[in-house]
Amino acid sequence: MSTAVSIENLCFGYEEREVLHNINLKIEEKDFAIIVGPNGGGKSTLLRLMLGLLIPRYGEVKIFGQTPEESRKRIAYVPQSWEFDHNFPISVLETVLLGRVERHLFGGARAKDKQVAMSALQEVGLADRAHTPFADLSGGQRQRVIIAQALASEPELLLLDEPGANLDTVSVATVYELLKELSKRLTVVMVSHNLMMIEPFANKVICVNHTADIHRIEEITQKVCNGGDLVQILHQACPIAHDHNNDDLCAGPHLGKEETK
């Protein structure tokens, strides 16, 4: 099995503040990896580095052995939610088709694109809403449409940024069930707050967080854990004390002050 994501000696910071320090990790193909950690710990930053939307200060990110820009067409990204104009006249199918916007230099969607888009909608269970205006859907359905858009681009690597953040428990379960199916044929990397729900089908957990000492350069502690009892692994993976009643398993009580960033 070959490597989907490989990150070596990565450091990244916004202006003066270093957010990620010396990251090394490898995600194999068809892995289901979850990134956990406290708010402001650099989870989304790590995802954006994998997408090539941010450039590392030091070290390198390779996706399928190439830079993120070079393999961009093989990556799909699902953001937390979209800010969009609620009067925007776009149907569900048209939204999904935008996932294939780069396929043709000229002209609109062909029959083949529509076919792929429809099967992506089928997969997320919204094929019957294809011609509904996107704005008329509920939050959970919109999230599924965004996932369908990502699938329509026929990716090999799917990156998701807290897809369950704005959803109720039932919708989250639907979305996660879908991701579980998808992970059988593609690599999935997901930022999540809700570790307990996703645990049964993830095979890797990446903890991204700060050290407690705010006077020093913020450090990052991350470990990639394979198999075994989750709580035990997290104890080993995240040396900082953590609260099991808290969704942020890696967030220590002494980090509470920092959580608001």
Partner 1 sequence: MIQFLQDIFIESFLLRSVLAMALAAVACGIVGCYVVLKRDSYAVGAVSHSLLGGVGAALFFGAKYTLPWLTPWLGALIAALIVAVLLTFMTVRWKLRTDTALSAVWAIGMAIGISFVTAMPGYAQDLNSYLFSSILIISRQDLLTAVILDVFVILLTLLWHQRFVALAFHREILTLRGISTTCVQLAFQLMVAFTVVILSQLVGIVLCMALLILPVAAASALSRRIPRIMLVAGIICFACAFLGVGLAYDAPQGTFFSSSGANIIELAGIVYLLASAVRFLRKKPWKKYEPRLENDCSTCPKCHECHESHRHSEPGLK
Interface positions with partner 1 (CB under 8 A): 51, 53, 69, 72-73, 75-77, 79, 82, 84-85, 87-91, 94-95, 97-99, 101-102, 106-109, 133, 138-139, 141, 153, 168-170
Tally the C-alpha atoms within 13 A of residue 84's C-alpha that lie toward its C-beta. Answer: 19
Of the two residues 38 and 155, which places its CB atom closer to partner 1 in the complex? 155
Of the two residues 87 and 245, which places its CB atom closer to partner 1 in the complex? 87
CB of 101 to partner 1, least distance (A): 5
CB of 53 to partner 1, least distance (A): 7
CB of 15 to partner 1, least distance (A): 15
Q: Does residue 57 contact residue 13 with C-beta atoms inside 8 Å?
A: yes
Of the two residues 32 and 77, which places its CB atom closer to partner 1 in the complex? 77
Of the two residues 126 and 225, which places its CB atom closer to partner 1 in the complex? 126
How many helices (DSSP H) and strands (DSSP E) are in the chain? 7, 9
Of the two residues 107 and 228, which places its CB atom closer to partner 1 in the complex? 107
Of the two residues 161 and 258, which places its CB atom closer to partner 1 in the complex? 161
CB of 5 to partner 1, least distance (A): 16
Cα distances (Å, whole numbers) of residue 236 to 207, 224, 225, 226, 240: 11, 10, 9, 12, 9
- Closest to 95 (Cα-Cα) out of 52, 151, 159: 151
**If DSSP codes are grouped into helix, strand and coil, which group holds residue 251?**
coil
CB of 108 to partner 1, least distance (A): 5
Q: Where are the alpha helices (DSSP H) in the chain?
A: 43-51, 92-97, 111-124, 139-152, 169-182, 195-198, 230-237
User: Strand order of the sheet with strand 17-28?
Assistant: 17-28, 3-14, 58-63
CB of 192 to partner 1, least distance (A): 19
Query: What does residue 164 show for φ and ψ, rounded to 5 degrees?
Result: -100, 10
Q: Does residue 78 contact residue 160 with C-beta atoms inside 8 Å?
A: yes
